[in-house]
Amino acid sequence: MRKRFHIRRGDTVKVNSGNHRGAQGVVLQILKAKSQAIVEGVRIIKKHQRKSQDQPNGAIVEREGPIHISNLQLVEKGKVEKGGAKSSS
């Protein structure tokens, strides 16, 4: 059975509970298997990057972490265009 959520990518949401209560942001990604969402500017975590050609000395990168969907409240529906379909000109 397919999971359906009250939020989608591109929606503006508010965090209801947890350490980040009251924060607002735009949904960047939905993780269906874990029922979590990644919200822009909320739950910033530090990710340690291994040495690579891009980062010769390695790095500590800040990025958004996932939040459970039950802790999010829809504030405003967003409009996201789906990629893949080309318009005929």
- Whether 7 is covered by a domain: the verdict is no
Q: How confident is the model at residue 84, as a pLDDT?
A: 61
Domain that holds residue 33: 12-76
Q: What is the value of pTM for the model shown?
A: 0.77
Residue 3: count other Cβ atoms within 10 Å of its Cβ: 9
Question: What local confidence, expressed as pLDDT, does residue 74 receive?
Answer: 94
CA gap 64, 68 in Å, rounded: 13
> What pLDDT shows up at residue 82?
66
In a domain, 53, yes or no: yes
Which range has the worst mean pLDDT, 20-24, 73-77, 80-84? 80-84
Q: What is the mean pLDDT of residues 60-87?
A: 84
Give domain status of residue 87, yes or no. Answer: no
Q: What does the pLDDT look like over 49-62, one tens digit per residue?
A: 999 998 899 999 99
Asked if the structure places residue 36 within a domain, the reply is: yes
**Which CATH number belongs to the domain containing residue 35 in this structure?**
2.30.30.30
Could you give the number of structural domains in the chain?
A: 1
